[in-house]
Amino acid sequence: MKCQFCNSVDSRVVDSRPTDDGSSIRRRRECSNCGRRFTTYEKVETIQLLVVKKDRTRELFDAGKIRSGIIHACHKRPVAAQEIDRIVAQVEQFAYNSMQQEITTQQIGEMVMEELRKLDEVAYIRFASVYRQFTDISTFMHELKRLMNEDAAVQREI
């Protein structure tokens, strides 16, 4: 690491500790040439992940958009913020662990719906109605019937 004071590239680490949010490591260094100390931060380099939208345009992955959609779906529902954060983290982890440079909004939407369905059926229907763009009452009722049939099948298994 290059010293900001004398431009020497020889320094040693005096102290290392994680930052408060745990996303990086703070390192105190001492220059071997001038003896002055300086701080550096080490952070994991992530790939730039692009989201392929329905119209085939691409934009950078933004976990905040996923969180916002889930929060809207869970409005006035008994869903804890921790659960919303868990879903967002799960989707984000899947997206980055796929080791692909692109992920589709369809993949993201399906993952979110699957998790919301386990968590709160009303939030699931709200999210699905926007995500699947229900255009009329019959498509909405079709999804409700499918949900009810799957729930009945699960109840029979129990």
- 84: part of which helix (H) or strand (E)? helix 81-97
What does the pLDDT read at residue 73? 94
**pLDDT tens digits along 121-154:** 899 888 988 877 777 788 778 877 887 887 777 7
**pLDDT tens digits along 25-52:** 999 999 999 999 999 999 877 778 999 9
**pLDDT tens digits along 49-94:** 999 999 999 999 999 999 999 999 999 999 999 999 999 999 998 9
Assign 120 to helix, strand or coil.
coil
Instruction: Give yes or no for residue 19 having a pLDDT over 80.
Output: yes
Residues 6+ apart with CB under 8 A from 69: 112, 127, 130, 131
